[in-house]
């Protein structure tokens, strides 16, 4: 009898209390199109007097990243005001104690910037922060490890290195859950003095589809620092646009309702480095002669990169090529800067269709990387400087002519 009851209660426990991860997964919502995360850096007075009232009116969430050592300064919030933002339902995130370039600090100093911030939050009845924003966009592997250790779940960076740095605002790319590391969530648009146009918010929102999420970064509305300032009229237009577009607007912490934040790349930098690979665009095949000629144009997403090698595959079927098999010809990695290659496999039959694709290896100029991404760590710059294969071009087909007798 005892055994039977024991077995039953065990079964009930398993049935009624699945693991936390299982529960979270069951409760997770599908990512809707037009999912937008709103973030505000530096702890400006305008967070409370201009931003929060409009967000509340529209039912929008938002994260306010506070620099604790700046509180009480000119046009900055005070602790009671930060508490008020929390009481109104907004998230308070960590933007360190003194807004240093974290790359210039020792690991111990980085840890203190975050621990002291967390302690100040606790003393001022602010919930333990789980979201972080890198001051000036500087990050390296040490900061990621310390954030993990101190119980953080999410961190937002700037737009570079995928987009060359513009200090006065601009558009970046959308956040791709599962691909981007949750501690390296890119900013899809940063408003600043050099990025005030209407199209920027439209462009950022247009990327929020098929599981991609748009993350917007603002500073003060307006800000004491002119370069990162957003006028009130501009901000109202942005929020009106999001409202009229039917966007779902949330705080950064609320990503956990939609995204499995435990799913992350083994190497946090890998997705960034892969996206910056060199790709072959405009693939062409000249098959006017018996032996086809292939050509392409190397594309590097705004970076100056040189092609140093290629690998070209020709296949008798698309299915084989999709599996990465060039059953007719696999050039192997050929060290060559040419964009034009002559077919060198067995004779091709007239009237038949064949499939091909090409992959390129890049080389970047170190001086250019450092110039375009002055905020990046030595370790990421070193990664970006390595020659590596980019993604394959899109699959193209060609049909051989039938020769006349
Ligand atoms: Zn900042």
| Structural domain ending residue among the three candidates 246, 268, 290 | 268
Q: Are residues 180 and 302 in the same domain?
A: no
368 Cβ partners below 8 Å, 6+ apart?
A: 303, 304
In a domain, 22, yes or no: no
pLDDT in tens, 260-270: 999 999 999 98
The boundaries of the domain holding residue 89 are 29-268
Q: Are 179 and 289 found together in one domain? A: no
Together in a domain, 254 and 140: yes
CA of 393 to the centre of ligand 1 (A): 39
Q: Distance, CA 280 to ligand 1 centroid (Å)? A: 37
How remote is the CA of residue 175 from the centroid of ligand 1, in Å?
Answer: 20
Whose CA is closest to 40, among 259, 251, 197, 258? 251
Statement to judge: residues 69 and 124 lie in one domain:
yes
- Contact predicate 150/114, CB 8 Å: yes
* Cα 103 to middle of ligand 1, angstroms: 15
What are 141's two structure tokens?
Answer: 């592997």
Predicted confidence at residue 24, as pLDDT, reads: 62
pLDDT score recorded for residue 301? 67
- Residues 322 and 238 grouped into a single domain: no
Both 80 and 214 in one domain: the answer is yes
Low-confidence ranges of the chain (pLDDT < 70): 1-26, 165-166, 301-304, 403-405
Query: CB count, 10 Å around CB of 382?
Result: 11
229 alpha carbon – ligand 1 mean position (Å): 12
Same domain, yes or no: 115 and 148: yes
Report how far ligand 1's centroid is from the alpha carbon of 157 (Å).
10
CATH number of the domain at 103, please.
3.20.20.370
Clarify whether residues 219 and 284 are in a common domain: no
Asked if the structure places residue 379 within a domain, the reply is yes
Distance CA 194, CA 220 (A): 15
| Prediction pTM value | 0.82
* In a domain? residue 287: yes
* Ligand 1 center from residue 40 Cα (angstroms): 9
| 129/184 same-domain check | yes
348 and 394 co-located in one domain:
yes
Residues 187/216, Cβ–Cβ less than 8 Å: yes
Q: Measured in angstroms, how far is the CA atom of residue 98 from the centroid of ligand 1? A: 10
- Beta strands in 67-167, from DSSP E residues, in sequence order: 91-94, 131-133, 154-156
The reply to whether 91 falls in a domain is: yes
- Rounded distance from Cα 212 to ligand 1 centre (Å): 25
- 8 lies in some domain: no
Mark which of 268, 291, 309 sits at the end of a domain: 268
Q: Are 330 and 313 in contact (CB under 8 A)?
A: yes
């Amino acid at each position: 009898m005892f055994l039977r009851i024991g077995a039953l209660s065990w079964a009930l426990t398993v049935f009624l209390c699945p693991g936390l991860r299982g529960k979270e997964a069951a409760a997770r919502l599908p990512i809707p199109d037009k999912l937008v995360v709103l973030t505000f850096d530096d702890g400006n007075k305008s967070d409370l007097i201009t931003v929060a009232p409009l967000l509340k009116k529209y039912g929008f969430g938002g994260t306010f990243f506070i620099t604790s050592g700046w509180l009480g300064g000119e046009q900055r919030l005070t602790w009671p005001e930060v508490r008020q933002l929390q009481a109104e339902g907004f998230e308070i995130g960590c933007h360190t104690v003194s807004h240093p370039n974290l790359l210039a600090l020792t690991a111990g100093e980085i840890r203190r910037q975050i621990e002291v911030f967390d302690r100040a939050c606790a003393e001022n009845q602010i919930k333990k922060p789980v979201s972080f924003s890198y001051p000036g966009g500087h990050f390296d592997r040490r900061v990621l490890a310390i954030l993990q250790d101190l119980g953080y779940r999410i961190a937002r960076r700037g737009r570079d290195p995928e987009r060359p740095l513009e200090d006065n605002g601009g558009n970046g790319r959308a956040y791709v859950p599962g691909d981007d590391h949750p501690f390296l969530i890119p900013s899809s648009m940063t408003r600043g003095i050099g990025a005030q146009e209407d199209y920027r918010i439209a462009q950022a929102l247009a990327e929020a589809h098929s599981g991609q999420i748009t993350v917007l970064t603002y500073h003060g509305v307006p800000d004491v620092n002119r370069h990162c300032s957003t006028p009130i009229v501009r901000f109202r237009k942005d929020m009106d646009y999001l409202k009229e577009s039917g966007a779902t607007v949330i705080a950064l912490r609320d990503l956990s309702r939609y995204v499995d934040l435990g799913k992350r790349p083994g190497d946090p930098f890998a997705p960034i480095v892969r996206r910056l690979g060199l790709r072959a665009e405009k693939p062409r095949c000249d098959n006017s002669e018996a032996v086809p000629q292939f050509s392409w144009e190397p594309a590097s997403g705004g970076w100056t990169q040189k092609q140093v090698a290629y690998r070209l595959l020709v296949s008798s079927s698309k299915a084989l090529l999709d599996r990465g098999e060039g059953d007719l010809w696999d050039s192997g990695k050929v060290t060559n800067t040419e964009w034009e290659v002559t077919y060198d496999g067995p004779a091709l039959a007239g009237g038949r269709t064949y499939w091909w694709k090409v992959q390129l290896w890049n080389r970047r100029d170190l001086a250019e990387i450092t110039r375009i991404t002055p905020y990046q760590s030595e370790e990421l710059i070193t990664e970006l400087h390595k020659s590596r294969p980019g993604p394959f071009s899109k699959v193209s087909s060609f049909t051989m002519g039938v020769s006349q007798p």
